[in-house]
Amino acid sequence: MRLRGWLVPLAAWLFLVLSTGAHAFDLAPEGVRALKEKVPSLAAFSSDGLVWRLERRYRMLSDGSTEASCTLVAQIGERIPGALRRLFVPVPDGGSAQAGLRYYDPMTWREVGSVSPKETQLEGVRGLEMSLPQDAAGRVVLITLVQRVPSRASLSGFVSFGMELPVWEEVLSVEIPSGRGLNFKQQGVQEPVVGSLSGVEAYVWINRNQPPMSDSGLVDRQRPWVSFSTSRGPEAASLRLREMDSVRTDRLSGLPKDPKGKLEALESRWSSSLKGVRVMSLVGGSDPVGSRLTLALRDALEAEGHHVETWWAPKSGFAPGDPVSDGMWLTPVLRSQRLFGGSPFYVGQGVPPGEVPMGLLGRTLYRSLPSGEIGSMGVPMPPAENSRVSSYIRGSVSPDGRFEGTMEVLISGAWIGLVDLEDPLGWLNTGGSFIFDGVRVRRSQRGLVLESPMAGQLDVGANGMLLKIPSVYPRMLEDLVSRGEVLKPRFPFLLEQRVDLGVPKGTSPVVEPVLKNSRWLRQRISSSSVRGRISFSAALTVRDAAGGRSDVSSEDFFFFIRGLGDGILVR
C-alpha cells in the first residue's frame, strides 16, 4: 500500500521521544506518556512486563552509510524481566554505537533513574552494556540505541518481530533515497505502507498485540519477520558470502590441543559470556559472540592443517534471488570430513561434538563456491529414536501410599541442547508431587544422565484405589498442549517411561488411561503385575514433526500428558 505524507506523524513521534527538549523538568517524553492511554493494563498479561511500543528505524544516509536506531518503551512489573535485565549493544566493525536507558514513575511521569552504558567486550566483541536496576520495578522504561555502519553503498537488515515479553505495538521503518528501490521478503506481517517525502522513500511495517515469543524450547513457533536490502540476486549474495568467509580473527590463547577440546572450551566461554545477557543489535547477526568464536575456531583448526569448510545457516528459507541481508544469517557453520565424523559444528551448538546441533536439523546451509555460484548442503532430520528422553523409576509403595525410590533419566540427541544444566530438576516435570534429594548429572556414551533419589505420596486407598504412577518428563512438553493450535516440534523425538514398583499385597492394575494416536504420533501405555510388583511403561513417538510436514495437534499431546498425570486404577 502506498501512502504519501505518512512520514510526518512518524517523524513527530520520534522527535517527541528522542529530542533532548522532551526531557525538560525530568519528565517522560510526550510520546511515551501518550502510549499509556492506548495500551491495556499489565495486569491483563501473565508477564513480568509489557512492551508498549518497539520501534526499529533504518536509514540510508547520503554518504551510503547506514544508521539503525531502536526505541523501546515498556512497563515493568514487580520483578525485572530477564529479557531486559542485562543488555549488550555491539559496536559494528568500523562503525559506532550509542545507547541510553531511563525509567519513570507512571503516575507522575517524573524520571526515577537512568543508566549510562559502559564500554565492554564479550570475547573480543566490542559493545555497550546496560543493566536495568531493581528500583526500575513498577516503572515505565525507555531504552534507546543507535548503531552506525560505514558506507557499503547498500542498506539491509533482518528483523524478527516479538520478544520474550508481550509486545503491544511494533514498528519497522526503512528509509532510502527515492529511486533507489528496496527489495524485501516477509512472513507473518501485513504488506508495508510505502510513502515518499523530500527525496526519501520509506517502508513501514506494523505488528500489533504480539504474544511472547522465544527462539528456544521444543515448540517451533514461527516468528513474524522481514528481510530487506537494496541489493538482491545470486551474484550479490555470493559476493557477500565470500566477504563474510574472508573475516579473520585474532588468535585465541589457552585452548586445548585437540579439536574436540577446542570446541568444548569455546562452548564454555560462549555460554559464560552470554549468561543472562540479551544482545540488542540492529545490524549484523543476532549472535556476534558465537559467530566470532566459530570463525576463530576455524582459523585455529586451519592453522593446524585441517581443511575446514565454512557454511552459513539462514534464519529462514533462502533463495539466490532473495534480498541480500546481513542479518539473515544465523551463524557460520564449520564442517571437516576428518573431524567429528563429518558432522557440522559451531560454537553455541549446545550438543557434544559429533552430534548434529538442534538448530541445524532440517535446515539447508549455503556457501560461496570458487566458481562464484552458491553451494547448498541439507542437514537431514534424524529419526525420532535418535532424540529421546528415557526415564526409569524404581522403588516401593507402603500400605499408606508412601513412595520411596530412585530416578534415572537418559537424554540423547537434540534434547541435550534443551536441558538446563544449572537447574536440571527444574527442567523436568512430574506426574505427582515428589521430593528429590539432589541430582547427579553425568555424561555417558549414550547421552546425558540425570540421577536422583525421590519420594512422595501416591494416594493408595484401602479399597478400590487410584495409584498415581510416578513419572517424570520434560516440562516443555506442556508447551505443546495449547488447544486450537497446529503445533510443530523442532525435531522428531521419543519419550519413554519405565516404572518398577513394589506394591502392597493384592494390588494389581485394572484400567489404563485412554490414549489417542494420529498419523505422525504414536502413544503406548501398558502395565503388568507379578508377585507384588507393578511394572509400568509408556512411550510417545513423534515422527517427522518438524519442517511443516506434520499434522500433530495439541490435543494429541494432551492425551499423553493426561495419561501420565491421571494414573492407573488398581485394586
Rounded CA-CA distance 102/141 in Å is 6
How many CB atoms neighbour CB 352 within 10 A?
A: 17
**Residue 548, Cβ density class (10 Å: 0-12 exposed, 13-18 middle, ≥19 buried):** exposed
CA-to-CA distance for 536 and 471, rounded, in angstroms? 10
Q: Determine the average pLDDT of the residues in 216-244.
A: 87
Give per-residue pLDDT as tens, 522-549: 778 788 888 888 888 888 888 764 444 4
Q: How many Å separate Cα 41 from the centre of its chain?
A: 27
Q: Are 338 and 306 in contact (CB under 8 A)?
A: yes
Q: Is 503 exposed, middle or buried (0-12, 13-18, 19+ CB in 10 A)?
A: buried
The strand pairing partners of 434, in sequence order, are 456
Residue 216: half-sphere exposure toward Cβ, Cα within 13 Å? 10
Full set of structural domains in the chain with CATH:
17-220 (2.60.40.3140), 235-379 (no CATH), 384-569 (no CATH)
CA distances from 3 to 195, 202, 486 (A): 5, 10, 36
Calpha distance 179→422 (Å, rounded): 54
Check pLDDT > 70 for residue 33.
yes
Q: How many CA atoms lie within 13 A of 354 on its CB side?
A: 11
Tens digits of residue pLDDT in 119-150:
999 999 999 999 999 999 999 999 999 999 98
Q: Using one digit for the tens of pLDDT, what is the confidence trace for 86-119? A: 999 999 988 999 999 999 999 999 999 999 999 9
**pLDDT by residue (tens digit) across 310-357?**
999 998 888 878 999 888 898 999 999 999 999 999 999 988 898 888
What rounded mean pLDDT belongs to the chain?
85
